[in-house]
Every structure is written in C-alpha cells, then in structure tokens.
Amino acid sequence: MDPRGTDARPFEVLLVEDNVTDAMITSEALGDCIKRNHVTLLDDGSKVMPYLRGKAPYKESIRPDLILLDLNMPGTRGHDVLCEIKNDKQLCSIPVCVLTASKAQSDVMRSYQLNANCYITKPLDFEKFSESMRLVCDYWFEVATLPPMVS
C-alpha cells in the first residue's frame, strides 16, 4: 500500500553505504517492499552534507524522506554525519536510521545519543535482511507521518 496514492512522487531514500554489495542488496530489498521509491546512494560520509544542502555537485538533489546511514565508512564517519544532520535546523527533522553491521553497544548508545531515529544491525541472511527492510518501509512509509518536504 502506498499512502501517497498513484500520482504522488516516489519516496526518497538516501542510502549512505560504502559497500557495493550491501548497497545493491539494500536497494533491491527497498524496491521489493515499496514500488514507488527512489534510492540515492552516497558511498562516502563526506558527500552527505553537500548532498543534503544542495551544494555542488548535488545542486539538483531532492530532500530525502528517510536516510539509511552506515557507520563505518571512508571520509566522514557515520556518527559524525549523524551529528551534523541532527544539529542542522534545516535537516534535523529528516528521519535517520542507522543501518550497520556493528552490534557494539557503544555504537548503539552513541547513535541514540546523537538522535538517531532507530538503529538496525544488518542481518547476514538475505531473507532476514529483506524482512528488516520491509518492516522499515512499513513503519516509515505507511505508519509514521513524515515531516513535510521543504524547498
């Protein structure tokens, strides 16, 4: 079910993930659970803030409805990206789900201290991962009311 209706714009998901395989699997799983989505992939944490602010080379970027953020990346680390997003008055309302392989309690605690909206440890099994992404889609795109788009 797509709560935006058939004529609505797609859901915009920003996936911040440096692992190509994980990015492909995540994009595929998102496509399986909600047909009207557009996933933008950034493979380095240092690209996130220019993208979100519409700075070169991302002047045509679209504000995401949801950010899926890996923690362990080259460039700016995931926790630093999360901190920047949540401390920016224009961006702090964008839901950020940490999606990472780390099960470390210190990573979980730090993510929530920085106001992550949720923390998901990537299951190693594809079926379990797909189910996790379906639950993410169900919650964020069917149950939750997302903040309005701003230009």
**Can you give the residue ranges of every domain in the chain?**
11-143
Q: Domain spanning 11-143: which superfamily?
A: Response regulator (3.40.50.2300)
Residue 48, pLDDT > 50, answer: yes
Amino acid in the structure at residue 22: D
Identify the pLDDT of residue 47.
Answer: 96
Which residues lie below 8 Å from residue 84, measured CB to CB, with a gap of 6+?
48, 49, 76
pLDDT surpassing 50 at residue 5: no
> What count of other Cβ atoms lies within 10 Å of the Cβ of residue 56?
6
> How many C-beta atoms lie closer than 10 Å to residue 133's C-beta?
25
**3-class state of residue 72 by DSSP:** coil
What integer pLDDT is reported at residue 151 of this predicted model? 53
What pTM was computed for the model? 0.91
pLDDT in the model for residue 147: 85
Mode of pairing for the β-strands spanning 37-42 and 66-69 = unpaired
- Top-confidence residue, 49 or 5: 49
For 69-87, write each residue's pLDDT tens digit: 999 988 899 999 999 999 9
